[in-house]
Structure 1
Amino acid sequence: MEGVDAVVGVLQGGDQAEICQHLQSFNTQHAQTFGFPNLQQDKRKDLVSAILEVLNKDMQPSCHATCLSTIRILSRDKASLQFLAKPPCVTTLLKHAGMDGAEAVLELPEDEVIAEAEKCLCNIIFTSPTAQRLCSSNGCVEGVAGRLKCISDPHLSYDVKIFAVRLTFLLTALCIDIRQRLQVEFNIPALLLSAMEHTLGVENNSTLGTLEGAVLTDEQVDLLSEILKTMFNVTLTGQARQLDEEELERYKHMTAVCRYMLMCRASSEAKQEELHSHTINLMTNMPRNCLGEVIVQQGERGVGTEYDGWNMDAIMTILDFLERRIDQNKRLLETLTPVLTCLIAISRANRNVRKFLRTKVLPPLRDVETLPQEGPKLRNKCVRLMTCVVTEVKEAAAEFLFVLCKENVDRLVKYTGFGNAAGLLAHRGLLAGGPCSGQHNYSSGDEESDTEEYLVAKDKINPVTGRVEPDRPNPLEEMTEEQKEHLFMQLASDFDKLTREGIVKPTMIGSDGRLHVVEGGVAEMMARAQTPPPDNSDNEEEDDNE
C-alpha cells in the first residue's frame, strides 16, 4: 500500500511535528477503513513496530494520542492482530491506558491518550484470544480494578470512564478466569455498584426510595448501559450459589438501584428503551429473595400506580416494555425472553406483584366469544406467544401466564384455551390436569370472582379453543345415509394410511400426565380407554391450597 513506507520512515527518523503530520493524514484517510487487504505483512509489522517505538519514547501527549489512533485503526484489521496482540504491544497500550498496575496515576492532560489506549485494547481483546490470555497475567486485571475505583473522580473524562467499563465488559464476557479473579480478589460487583450509584447521583440511599427517577443525559445512559452489561456478566452465578449476608444485602441494594433506573427518564425513547433493556437483563440475575426491592411503599403522596399500598410504577414500566417488544415483533429470542423471565421471577417472589400483574394481564374474563389469542389486549398478545415458533419465547410466555394463574391448570385453560396451553401442560406432565408438582408456594386465597358474562356462558365455552363457538350448520344434514357412509369410509382409509406411513401416531395421556404413543394402534388405544383406572383414593390426599 502506497505511503506506508514514507510513514514508517518518518516514524523512525522524523521529529514530533513530522510524525504527527504524517499519522494524522493516515488516520484521516483511513478513518472509515476496516481492513487493509493490499498491505503486505512485512509492511504491517514495520508500521506497528515503528509506532510502538514512538509510544515508548518521551513525547508530547498529543503525539502519543495520534499514534494510538493509528493503532486503533489498524486493530480493526484482523491480519494486523498477530503483531498487535503480542506482549510488547499490549503492555505498551496498558501503560498508556494507566492500567499496568492497580495504583495507576491519572493526569488530566493525558485523558485523550488514556481513552485512545483503552479503545485500542477494546478492539484487540474483542478479536484476539491471544490478547485475552495475555491480560490474565500482565497486570491488566489489577489495572482495570484500579480504574473502576476511580470512576467517581470528577476530573476523569467521560471517554476514559466509558471505555474503561467497556474493556471490563469484554474481559468479563470473554475470559472466565479474569471474571472470577475480579469477583474474588477485587469484589467487582461492589465497584460497579458504586460506579452505577455515582453516575445516577444516588449515593444517598434515601433517594432510591423516591417514586420519581431523574432525567438522564445521553452520556449517563451510555455509561450506565456499559456498567449494567458488565454487572450482568459478574452476577451470573448470583442465583446458583449460597450468598453470605453482605452479598445478599448488596444484591438487594442492586435491585433497588434497578428499580430507580426503571423510573428514570432519558432524552429520547430510544435511549430510554436501551436503559430499560439492560436494567431488565440484570434483574434476571437477581436472587429471588431480593426481588421484593422492586416495589416500595406508596406513601401519602398518592403519585403513580398503586396496588394494596405498594407503588407499582416499576412493574408497569416492565409491563409496558414487554408490550412494546411484542408489538415490535423483531428478534423475539433476544427481545422477549429476558423481560418474560424477569416478570416470572418477580411474580413468584412477591405476592403483591403477582396479584397486580394478574389484574393487568389476566383481568376477570368478560369476552367469551373471541378466541383468547385474538385481540389487541396484553392477554391476547401473551396467548399468541404461547404458539410462537421460537421455543424459548413460547415456553417463557406460557410460564408467565401459568404463574399468574398460580400454576393452576384449570385456571390457565380458562384464560388461554386448552389448545394454546397444551404445549406447557405436556412439558410439565399436566395434560391430565391435577395439581402442579413444582416447588413454588402460593397463597390459598381465591383472588378472582367470575364475571356475570363468564358465568352465563361457562357451560357453552369450548375448553379447547377457550371461547363460545358460533353456531354452524351441520354439514351432514344435507347428506344421504349412503353419502355419509362413503365419507366415513374415506376418512377411515385416509387415517389408516397416515398411521401406517408413520405420519401420525395414536397417543394417549399416561399416568405421568404426558403423551405416549400407543404401539398397538387405534384398537389398542380404544381398549385402554375402556379400562377403568385403578382406585388409588386411599393413597391420595387433596391439597386445596393454591
Structure 2
Amino acid sequence: MEALIVSMIPAFDARNEADICNKLQEFNKENAQTFTFPELGSETKKKFIGDVLQSLEAAYNTECYCLCLEALRIMSREKHHLYQLAQKEGILLLLKLAGLEEKPNANQNDQVIIEAEKCLCNLVFNSTAVQQICLECDCVRFVMDRVKLYTTRDPQIPMEIKFFDMRLLFLMTALCSSTRSQVRNDHNGIELLTGILERDVLANATPIPHPPTEPSSNGTTDLGATGGATGGEETAMEGLIAAMNAVSTADTIKITEEEANLACEVYKALFNTVIHSKLKEIEQEEESGVLKRLGQACYKMLLTETTSPAKTEECHSQTINLLTCALPLSCVEELTPEPGVGSVARAGLVYRGRNMEAVSSIMRFLEMRVDRAAAAKKLRVVEQLNPVLSALCVLCRRSTHIRRLLKDTVLPPLKKDEACHLPEEGCRIRNKLVRLMTNHSTDIKEVVADFLFILCKESVTKLIKYTGYGNAAGMLARRGLLAGGHGNTDYSPDEEDSDTEEYKDVRNEVNPVTGRVESERPNPMEGMTDEQKEVAAVELANMIHRITREGVIQPMSVSDDGKLIPMMDIVQKAAMQPLREEASDDDDAIA
C-alpha cells in the first residue's frame, strides 16, 4: 500500500494528468473494499491527501476529478487521521465540487457532484470537526436550496444526486441537532420532503393488480360491520384475523430500487426533522394540507413492493419509524381512508367503513419481526421490535379506528380452549406478544406491555384476563396499578368487551395469576397432623428469613397507591405506631 502511494509522488509533482489517472485507477481498484489503513504512515497519508486535493484544484478533466474524489472517498472511510480532509479548506473544496455553495457552477458534471457528496457523507459521519465546518458553511441551507430546484431545473436533477442530497441531509440532521428546526421552519422541510416522495418515488410507481375480492352491496367487504362474539359473529372475527394476516388484496404499487433507496433517505430525514418537535409545532403545517399529503404518502408506501423482500422491508421500516413521532390526527387519519376516496380505488380490508390495508401491513411487519427475533437468539431484538411497537402505541392512542381493529385482531374474545392454556402458549400474535412481556430487554417488555394495555383501554382487569397477572406485574408495578384500576381513561365509551359463551362457562375457574384454567391439585398437607403442619410452617418461615437476610429475595407488599413497597417498611411502621400513640398520650397528659 505505502509503496503504491509513494510511487504516485512523481506523477503528482510533475502534474502529469495521464500518470495521475493511471495510478489513481490502480489505487482505487486495489482499495475498493478497504476501510482502514493501519500500515500507512501518517506522513505518507498526509502527503497523498494533500496531493489529491491539489489535483482537484487543477484544471484537469472530469475523469481525473472523479478518480481523485473516489480516492478521497476511500481515505475518508477511516474515522481517525483524516488530516486535510477534516480541515475547512478541504471541506470548502468538496462543497464547491458538490454544488453546495452560494452560486454553484451550473455546468458542473453530475458524476463529480455525486463523488463529492459521497466524500462529504463519509466525513460528516466520521468527524465532529467536519460536522461543525459544514454547519458554519451553511451546508444544510444549500442542500435545501437544491431540493427546491428538483421540480424546476431543466434538465432534471439525476436521481442519484437526489439520493446523496437526502443522505447528507439525514446525516446532518441526525448528528447536528440545531439543523432539525432549521430544516422544518426556515426551509419548509416537511412540505419539500413530502413532495419528493410524491413526485420522485410514488408518482411513477407501477400498479400491481390483485384479483378482486367478493364485494358486498356497496362494493367492499366490511369485516367490522358486526359486533359481539357469538355464533356467526365469531366467524366474522376469524375472517377479520385471517384478512389481517393475508397478503394485501388491495391494488399495491411497485417501485424501482433507485426509488426505494431515495424514499428510505427521505423518511430518515423526515424522522429527524419532526422527532423532537412538539405536536403544536407540527400542526402549523395543517393549513397547507401537507400533513394530509404526508399521511397519504405513508399509506401508499406501506402498500408498496420493490425489487426484493429485503428492500421492501427497509421501505416499510423507515415509514414505520416516522409513525413513532407525534404526528397530528389529520396525518394519522390518512392511513385509514374511506374506500373509494382519493387515490384509494379499491380496498381489500375494510373495517367499520375504513380501509385498513396500511394497518394490516404494519401488523404483518410486526409479526415477521417477532418471528425472526424468536428464531435468532443473537438478533438485536430492541432495534427490530421497538420502533414498530412504539408506532402501534402512537397510532392506537391517536386513532379509535386503528385501536379497535387491533384489539379485535390481537386480543379477540377468548374461547374455552384458549382459556385452558397459558397466555404465552400458542402461535397467535397474542401468545407471541405475551412471551415478550418477560423478555430480558426492559425496553421490549415495557413497550409490549404498553401496547397490550392500550388495546385494553388501559383497564387492569382486561389486561390480566388476556395476559395473566404474572406477565403483567412488571408494567402494573411501574404504573402503580398493582391494586387494580385504570390508567388513562380517555378512550371512546361506545366499545364493550364481549366474551364468547364458552369462555363465560369457565371464566370463574381461570387463575388470574397464570391466566388459564388450572386443574385441581392435591392438598400437600392432606393427612398431616396439626403438630406436623406447625413444624412445616416453622421450617418455611426460617427458610424465608434466611434467604431474605442473605439478600436472595426481598419480601414486598402492595401499598395503597398500587406500588410495591418492602415488607420491612410495613413492619417498622407497625412497630413505631404504639410508640407514637404513647407519645401522643403523654402530650395530652402534660397539656
TM-score > 0.5 by shorter chain: yes
Corresponding position of 2:245: none
Moved more, 307-316 or 33-42: 33-42
Match of 1:2, SS state, is helix
Alignment root-mean-square deviation, CA? 2.5
**CA 1:418 to 1:526, structure 2 compared with 1: closer, same or farther past 3 Å?**
farther
Does residue 291 of the first structure (1) align with residue 332 of the second (2)? yes
Change (3 A) 1:57 1:14: closer
Q: Which amino acid in structure 1 is aligned with residue 364 of structure 2?
A: D
SS of the aligned residue for 1:516 comes to strand
- Contact 1:371–1:465 at 8 Å: present in 2 too? yes
1:32 aligns with 2:72: no
Task: Report the 3-state secondary structure (helix = DSSP H, G, I; strand = E; otherwise coil) of the residue aligned with 1:89.
Answer: helix
Deviations 1:191-212 (A, max 9, x none): 21111112223499xxxxx953
| Cα distance change, pair 140–521 in 1 and its aligned pair in 2 (3 A) | closer
Asked if 1 retains the 8 angstrom alpha-carbon contact of 2:282 and 2:327, the reply is no
1:137 — aligned with what? Answer: 136
Task: Show the counterpart of 1:538.
Answer: none
Q: How does 1:329-344 map to 2 (within 5 A)?
A: 329=373, 330-344=379-393
How far apart, CA to CA, are the structure 1 residues paired with 2:516 and 2:473? 16
The letter for the 2-side match of 1:148 is: V
Q: Report Cα offsets for 1:95-142 as digits up to 9, x if no partner.
A: 1111122x534547x111111111111111111111111011224233
Q: 2:426 touches 2:432 (CA, 8 Å); kept in 1?
A: yes
SS in 1 for 2:253: coil
Distance 2:150 2:348 in 1: 33
Of the three residues 228, 233, 244, the one matched with 2:267 is: 228
- State the secondary structure of the residue aligned to 2:562: coil
Spell out the pairing of 1:104-143 with structure 2 (5 A cutoff).
104-107=104-107, 110-143=109-142
User: Equivalents in 1 of 2:22, 2:157: separation in Å?
Assistant: 28
In the aligned structure 1, how far is the partner of 2:37 from the partner of 2:553? 57
What letter matches 2:57 in structure 1?
N
1:409 corresponds, among 452, 457, 460, to 460
**2:472 is the counterpart of 1:421:** yes
Report the alpha carbon displacement of residue 480 of structure 1 after superposing the two structures with TM.
5.6
Partner of 1:135, secondary structure, is: helix
- Cα 1:390–1:106 shift into 2, 3 Å: farther
- Confirm or deny: 8 A CA contact 1:288 1:345 kept in the other structure: no
Unaligned 5+ residue runs, structure 2?
206-248, 374-378, 578-591
Deviation at 1:63, TM superposition (A): 0.9
Q: Which residue of 2 aligns with 1:148?
A: 147
Deviation of the 1:240 alpha carbon: 4.7
Shift of 1:255: 1.9
The match for 1:100 is 101
Aligned to 1:164: 165
Q: CA deviation at 1:482?
A: 5.3
Q: Corresponding residue for 1:504?
A: 553
Amino acid aligned to 1:131 = V
- Structure-2 separation of matches of 1:201 and 1:371: 45
Q: Identity percentage over the alignment?
A: 40
- What amino acid is aligned across from residue 24 of structure 1 in structure 2? Q
Tell me which of 302, 305, 309 is aligned to 1:262: 302
- Structure 1 residue aligned with 2:347: 303
Structure 1 pair 8–192 and aligned structure 2 pair: CA distance change class (3 A): farther
Please give the alpha-carbon distance, in whole angstroms, between the structure 1 residues aligned to 2:115 and 2:327: 38
Alignment of 1:26-105 (within 5 A): 26-101=27-102, 103-105=103-105
Gap change, CA 1:409 and 1:520, over 3 Å in 2: closer
> Residue 323 of structure 1 aligns with which residue?
367
Confirm or deny that 1:372 pairs with 2:423. Answer: yes
1:215 and 1:77 mapped to 2: Cα distance? Answer: 37
Query: 2 CA distance for matches of 1:492 and 1:403?
Result: 40
The answer as to whether partners of 2:255 and 2:305 remain within 8 angstroms in 1 is yes
Counterpart of 1:251 in structure 2 is 291
Aligned equivalents of 2:504, 2:195: Cα separation in 1:
55
Q: Secondary structure at the match of 1:27?
A: helix
1:478, distance to aligned residue in structure 2 (A):
5.7
Superposed displacement of residue 526, structure 1: 12
Alpha-carbon distance between aligned partners in 2 of 1:522 and 1:285, rounded to the nearest angstrom: 46
1:214 alignment partner, SS class: strand
Whole-Å separation in 2 of the counterparts to 1:461 and 1:346: 32
Partners of 1:179 and 1:520 lie apart in 2 by 49
- CA deviations 1:42-61 (Å, max 9, x no partner) are 22222122111111122211
2:246 alignment counterpart? none
Say whether 1:276 aligns with 2:316.
yes
- Residue type of the alignment partner of 1:93: L
| Counterpart for residue 388 of structure 1 | 439
Output the CA distance in 1 between the equivalents of 2:204 and 2:308.
Answer: 25
Show CA shifts across 1:438-472 (max 9, x none).
3x511222433211111100111101111100233
For the pair 1:185 / 2:214, whether they are aligned, the reply is no
- Equivalent-residue separation in structure 2 for 1:99 and 1:520 (angstroms): 65
SS of residue paired to 1:296: coil
1:84–1:90: 8 Å Cα contact kept in structure 2? Answer: yes
Asked whether the 8 Å contact 2:274–2:282 carries over to 1, the reply is no
Aligned amino acid, residue 307 of structure 1: Y
- TM-score, normalised relative to structure 1: 0.89
Shift of 1:302: 5.8
Partners of 2:279 and 2:347 lie apart in 1 by 37
Q: Distance in 2 between matches of 1:288 and 1:401?
A: 22
Residue range with higher mean Cα deviation, 423-432 or 37-46: 37-46
Q: Which amino acid aligns with 2:293?
A: H
Task: Give the AA of the match of 1:268.
Answer: S
Q: Which moved more, 1:60-69 or 1:147-156?
A: 147-156
Give the 3-state SS of the residue equivalent to 1:448 in structure 2: coil
Task: Work out the CA distance in 2 between the residues paired with 1:71 and 1:446.
Answer: 62
Counterpart-to-counterpart distance in 1, 2:38 and 2:283:
54
- Unaligned stretches of 5+ residues in structure 1: 205-209, 529-546
Residue 247 of structure 1: CA displacement?
A: 4.7
Are 1:232 and 1:281, in contact at CA under 8 Å, matched by a contact in 2? yes
Q: Answer whether contact 2:349 2:357 (CA < 8 A) is retained.
A: yes
| C-alpha distance after superposition, 1:62-85 (max 9, x if no partner) | 111111111111112344412211
**Alpha carbons of structure 1 residues 237 and 339: separation in structure 2 relative to 1, 3 Å:** same
- 2:283 and 2:475 map into 1 onto residues whose CA distance is 36
| Per-residue deviation, residues 258-300 of structure 1 (Å, max 9, x unmatched) | 1110011122211111111000001111424232221011249
Matched length = 519
Residues 19, 383 of structure 1: CA spacing in aligned structure 2 closer, same or farther, 3 A cutoff?
same
Which whole-Å deviations, capped at 9, do the CAs of 1:275-332 have from their partners, x for residues lacking one? 1100000111142423222101124976311111111100110111111111111312
CA contact (8 A) 2:201 2:260 kept: no
Contact 2:347-2:357 within 8 A present in 1 as well: no
**What is the CA–CA distance in structure 1 between the aligned matches of 2:51 and 2:402, rounded to whole Å?**
62
Please give the secondary structure, in 2, of the residue aligned with 1:123. Answer: helix
